[in-house]
Amino acid sequence: MASAFEYAPAPESRSVVDIAPSYGLFIDGEFVDAAGGKVFKTVSPSTEEVLSEVARAGAEDVDRAVRAARKAFEKWSALPGSERAKYLFRIARIIQERSRELAVLETLDNGKPIKETRDADLPLVAAHFFYYAGWADKLDHAGHGANPRPLGVAGQVIPWNFPLLMLAWKIAPALATGNTVVLKPAETTPLSALFFADICRQAGLPKGVVNILPGYGDAGAALVEHPDVNKVAFTGSTAVGKAIARSVAGTDKKLTLELGGKGANIVFDDAPIDQAVEGIVNGIFFNQGQVCCAGSRLLVQESVQDELLDALKRRLSTLRLGDPLDKNTDIGAINSSEQLARITTLVEQGEAEGAERWSPACELPSSGYWFAPTLFTGVTQAHTIARDEIFGPVLSVLSFRTPDEAVAKANNSQYGLSAGIWTEKGSRILAVANKLRAGVVWANTFNKFDPTSPFGGYKESGFGREGGRHGLEAYLDV
Amino acid sequence: MSDANRLSVFKTYKLYVGGKFPRSESGRVYEVTDSKGKWLANAPLSSRKDARDAVVAARKAFGGWAGATAYNRGQILYRVAEMLEGRKGQFVHEVADAEGLSRNKAAVLVEAAIDRWVWYAGWTDKIAQVTGGANPVAGPYFNLSTPEPTGVVTVLAPQDSSFLGLVSVIAPVIATGNTAVVVASERAPLPALSLGEVLATSDLPGGVVNILSGKASEMGPHLAAHQDVNAIDLTGASDDDLARELEIAAADNLKRVLRRRTEDFAESPGTDRMTAFLETKTVWHPTGSLGASGSSY
Amino acid sequence: MPTTAPAALAFADVTASDSALRRFLHGLPGVDAVGLEARAASLGTRSIKTTAKAYAIDLAISMIDLTTLEGADTPGKVRALAAKAVNPDPTDRTTPTTAAVCVYPDMVAAAKAALAGSDVKVASVATAFPAGRAALPVKLADTADAIAAGADEIDMVIDRGAFLAGRYLEVYEQIAAIRAECGDRARLKVIFETGELSTYDNIRRASWLGMMAGADFIKTSTGKVAVNATPANTLLMLEAVRDFRAQTGVQIGVKPAGGIRNTKEAIKFLVLVNETVGEDWLDNHWFRFGASSLLNDLLMQRQKLATGRYSGPDYVTVD
């Protein structure tokens, strides 16, 4: 898209962040080597440059971290809520102070555009800590009983798509309610969690209250299965979520799961069409579509399908893919070669099953993991790409004729995390929202998040809610 | 005045599925005895196919029941209490036999069970106000969280508390709009099967509650693994091993699981049996300014 | 001989009656205010640096309708403004000229004389600007007067009262009448006074009404009310001209006016143009800024890019 008005490169400065050549595990307030001495490299997905070498936690390290958390629990849970609140407020403030540094770090380690880490991830991270800080001394009034007690040690396993935000969603409510935490970040995005460990030190958080264990699935499994863990919180794939549900069966561990989705974004013929196009784009291309609540299925009323698709394609042609640190980049890199391979496989399957594939003219960088924004038309409920979560910048377009049909198709999924409704008719919004089996419904908007607003799924998208007053329940003995 | 020589009429206890009273499709029955081992009746020994049929009935009933007004559900639950009050004697008799209690003690339990229906009848149109609410999001959006029923819930009713316990696990499930497939106490199923007769005459739509008698260990694994069941209450799982096995099977479609626990059903129930089978749905909508001239620019 | 705009023919059935026109305008897709403003704000985060900034600054200068619309306007004031339009930066003759000078009808002759020999156009507000509260013959006479004095472009105001009262056909016919008066002699800009139309739905309807009636440009505001051009209302009007061209093949210009005072804001508007309608509109034939103080800020930024030093108000002319 050569234009007369060609935006010059506008890269955010990397110099605001100082990444050490190596990092340890954060256990009991100290950075330490893994017991087995194992390490792994974390790379920048946009360039494949090695950013740092990180200690890889194993079962022995998990045990050490859980013991540290257990030891810290006694004092931490006995602390007046008002004191715990102040620690969390401190953390929120330090995150705000260091937000540019953390945004650049997150963009480097994850591959997502700086525009998003700067304008979405980091503000939400700080807001989440700020919100739950205020709950710490008000738990008696939260509607979860008169004197709700913490559970103990929380084992938390988080994904790579919003590394620091998912950490905030897990750690903020856990600490506010008086639990201590052992958290395992994803193996492709360990850095922001390790920087968070440093923030905990700056905030003077007592040792052992937060422990960070970079590692792979084996460390996650060891954490989930550890007998002295009282609470398991997981965000990630539905397959792993099911395995975790099986592994905690028969125990007293409280479990919350935030898993996959195949969100339907329903556009009626009376939709505010330009805003609907923006909502569709935001719904599936925000964070390269690597979002559990992505609007990955576009259900459009047949009477406006052509018009909408023309507008959508025109809009996709203006998306700017490239250097995630460039402030004008809309589409960054896919997080890993594994994820790129999965997206590629599913897209090939979509083509093989006869759906029509379209992408705007788009030059992909020669190194790193990239996938062009992709649209599939002629998709039916029978196509794999209409059923399986792709977790990438790939939109499947289906049509419907009546509101009943739209709802039936939207609900025809093993998942039930998110949905969108676009119509100017208020009563239709309420009627359709009421019928959708999804935990979050965005009407005339999409992919909006707020710490006060509970988030979580129906059906195989998991259970429990994160955010808001509801999010406290997951960490309280109620 | 009853004639001591009169031959009484025995009751054929039947299942309650989809608003009808079928026998087990398997044709099987088992002997139900009182606490001293005296034969009381034969009860259907339900099979996995009976369980399957019950799930179909519960799923069919779900849309209408979940979509009924909360006021309407409250009226119906209260109607159940009214119907029970009139048939109290029958239930006192059955509970006394089942649990080996004096008629007075059994009457206390039956009255508590009736009052429990009243408690939950009153909750139907309040639980959304207590567990839902407006969220003050930082932006020009109206944001509301409301509880919604999870769907079809398998309930393994308590083994010991044949009626108060039974009512205490069914009523919170259906009060919020779920539908239930209930596996009654294996040893003491008769109050449960009789409850079906009360439900059938209380304006409760067929299929909202389905009652099966038989073995939790036989039907449980099928219900726990059933892909069209959304949740399972393991209260009546006969032992820890079975409870664990069922929880593992329930993970296949990520059923919401209420774990087995010791519970005194005489105590005030609280809300957690309702919230265990509620989803929270949060709906966002832009509010924005009244017009372009009032915009933030 | 007055000409009928080609687009008008395509909508003959729509404009045949008040009720048909109402049905058409109310059938246009609605606008969600929050979503529209969010999109405009999101495009406002584009970072335009170095070469792109230099391009944008020169483009913005070339798109300015350098405006003076004061009761105190005099031929002297207008001559000074015209000189500035032709030669914005006396220290750098490579600086582009502005697109036009915009004045009241009675100042057109003075402006025309001062601009003789340059490419800078003379635009004149007309039709009882800014309120538009006059009878049609008065508006026509006002327009004719400006054109007779040499105006190349007419910036008319619509009758917002008639629009808000739902008398769409009346508004349409007035625009069409002024259009006819302009004929081939002047391009017509139609000012909606978006701040008074108040809702985005109204702005979309007014845009279509104006385009169907033969506007060459649709323009946000007079600069005389509290809310003038905003990124959101301009984005919405850009969407309207984009959709209008897709439907009719006729390209219409857009002019945000009032309230755009510095380079950063102006560049945001150019980003809106670039990413909504594309480079076909990146030309002063199709996009204008109604502004006055904006020019000096653009010039200071231009000097900064050329010299590497920040400039100051003493290094640009006060006219």
Which residues are paired to A266 by β-bridges? A299, A421
Contacts for C308 with CB less than 8 Å, ≥ 6 apart:
none
Count other C-beta atoms under 10 Å from residue A363's C-beta: 10
CA–CA gap between residue A374 and residue A365 (Å, rounded):
16
CA–CA gap between residue B275 and residue A143 (Å, rounded):
12
The interface pTM score, or ipTM, of the predicted complex is 0.96
The answer to whether C36 faces chain A, any CB pair under 8 Å, is yes
What pLDDT score does C10 carry? 77
CA–CA gap between residue A191 and residue A212 (Å, rounded):
10
CA–CA gap between residue B168 and residue B278 (Å, rounded):
17
- CA atoms in the 13 A half-sphere facing the CB of B57: 26
- Subunits with at least 3 CB pairs below 8 A relative to chain B? A, C
Catalytic pick from C155, C159, C201, C216?
C155
Test mutation, C32, C46, C284, C305, chain A, max A CBs within 10 A: C32
CA–CA gap between residue B221 and residue B211 (Å, rounded):
17
Provide the sign of the torsion angle of the four alpha carbons A316, A318, A323, A324, taken in this order.
Answer: negative
CA–CA gap between residue A221 and residue A229 (Å, rounded):
12
Closest CA to A465 of A178, A202, A311, A258: A258
Catalytic pick from C53, C255, C268, C297?
C255
Do residue A450 and residue B130 have CB atoms under 8 angstroms apart?
no
CA–CA gap between residue B3 and residue C182 (Å, rounded):
112
Say if residue B226's pLDDT is above 80. Answer: yes
Residue of C nearest to A326 (CA): C47
The shortest CB-CB distance from B280 to any of A249, A414, A465 is to A465
Say if residue B264's pLDDT is above 80. Answer: yes
**Chain B contacts in chain A segment 383-422 (CB below 8 A):** 414
Angle (CA) B285-A113-A358 rounded to 5° is 75
Pair C210, C175: CB distance under 8 Å: yes
pLDDT (tens place) for every residue of chain C, 319 residues total = 344 555 666 799 999 999 999 999 999 999 999 999 999 999 999 999 999 999 999 999 999 999 999 999 999 999 999 999 999 999 999 999 999 999 999 999 999 999 999 999 999 999 999 999 999 999 999 999 999 999 999 999 999 999 999 999 999 999 999 999 999 999 999 999 999 999 999 999 999 999 999 999 999 999 999 999 999 999 999 999 999 999 999 999 999 999 999 999 999 999 999 999 999 999 999 999 999 999 999 999 999 999 999 999 999 999 8
The question of whether C189 is a catalytic residue gets the answer: no
Report the DSSP pairing between strands A50-55 and A39-43.
Answer: antiparallel
At B20, the amino acid letter reads K
Do residue B145 and residue A442 have CB atoms under 8 angstroms apart?
no
Q: Helix A426-435 crosses helix A403-411 at what angle (to 10 degrees)?
A: 30
For chains A and B, CB pairs below 8 A equal: 104
Coil, strand or helix at A122: helix
CA–CA gap between residue A278 and residue C35 (Å, rounded):
8
Q: Which residue has the tokens 């930024």?
A: C301
Provide the sign of the torsion angle of the four alpha carbons A425, A431, A434, A439, taken in this order.
Answer: negative
Provide the sign of the torsion angle of the four alpha carbons C85, C90, C91, C92, taken in this order.
Answer: positive
**Chain A contacts in chain C segment 203-262 (CB below 8 A):** 236, 239
Count other C-beta atoms under 10 Å from residue C137's C-beta: 9
In Å, what is the CA distance from B240 to each residue of B160, B184, B247?
16, 18, 10
Q: How many helices (H) and strands (E) does chain B have?
A: 10, 10
The answer to whether B143 faces chain C, any CB pair under 8 Å, is no
At C253, the amino acid letter reads G
Pair A154, A175: CB distance under 8 Å: no
Contacts for C71 with CB less than 8 Å, ≥ 6 apart:
none
Residue of C nearest to A272 (CA): C30
For chain A, list the domains and their CATH numbers. Answer: 14-259+458-477 (3.40.605.10), 264-443 (3.40.309.10)
Show the tokens assigned to C313.
């108000």
Contacts for B49 with CB less than 8 Å, ≥ 6 apart:
B25, B26
In Å, what is the CA distance from C140 to each residue of A189, C69, C112, C171?
68, 20, 21, 14
CA–CA gap between residue B276 and residue C116 (Å, rounded):
82
For chain C, list the domains and their CATH numbers. Answer: 6-307 (3.20.20.70)
CA–CA gap between residue C134 and residue A80 (Å, rounded):
72
CA–CA gap between residue C142 and residue C72 (Å, rounded):
19
A427 burial via Cβ count (<10 Å: 0-12, 13-18, 19+):
exposed
Using a CB-CB distance cutoff of 8 angstroms, which residues of chain C are in contact with residue B142?
none
Pair C197, C163: CB distance under 8 Å: yes
Helix (H) or strand (E) holding C258, with range, is none
Pair A432, A421: CB distance under 8 Å: yes
For chains A and C, CB pairs below 8 A equal: 74
Report the DSSP pairing between strands C289-291 and C217-219.
Answer: unpaired
The shortest CB-CB distance from C232 to any of B141, B286, B297 is to B297
Which residues are paired to B209 by β-bridges? B180
Using a CB-CB distance cutoff of 8 angstroms, which residues of chain C are in contact with residue A328?
46-47
- Subunits with at least 3 CB pairs below 8 A relative to chain A? B, C
Do residue B143 and residue A453 have CB atoms under 8 angstroms apart?
yes
Pair B175, B123: CB distance under 8 Å: yes
Provide the sign of the torsion angle of the four alpha carbons C209, C212, C215, C218, taken in this order.
Answer: positive
The shortest CB-CB distance from C194 to any of B141, B292, B296 is to B292
The shortest CB-CB distance from A452 to any of B136, B248, B257 is to B136
Angle (CA) B31-B37-B41 rounded to 5° is 30
What pLDDT score does A478 carry? 84
Q: Quote the longest CA-to-CA distance of chain C.
A: 60
CA–CA gap between residue C169 and residue C21 (Å, rounded):
7
Provide the sign of the torsion angle of the four alpha carbons B270, B273, B274, B279, taken in this order.
Answer: positive
CA–CA gap between residue B196 and residue A92 (Å, rounded):
56
Pair A290, A335: CB distance under 8 Å: yes
What pLDDT score does B3 carry? 73
Pair A424, A431: CB distance under 8 Å: no
Coil, strand or helix at A180: strand
Give the CATH number of domain B40-288; options: 3.30.590.10, 3.40.720.10, 3.90.105.10, 3.40.605.10.
3.40.605.10
CA–CA gap between residue B72 and residue B94 (Å, rounded):
30
- CA atoms in the 13 A half-sphere facing the CB of B175: 28
Q: What is the 3-state composition of chain A as percent helix, strand, coil, each rounded to the nearest 5?
A: 40, 20, 40
pTM of the model: 0.96
Residues of chain A with pLDDT under 70: 1-2
Q: Which residues of A are catalytic?
A: 258, 292
Pair B106, B188: CB distance under 8 Å: no
CA–CA gap between residue A229 and residue A224 (Å, rounded):
7
Which residues are paired to B180 by β-bridges? B153, B209
Chain length of chain A: 478
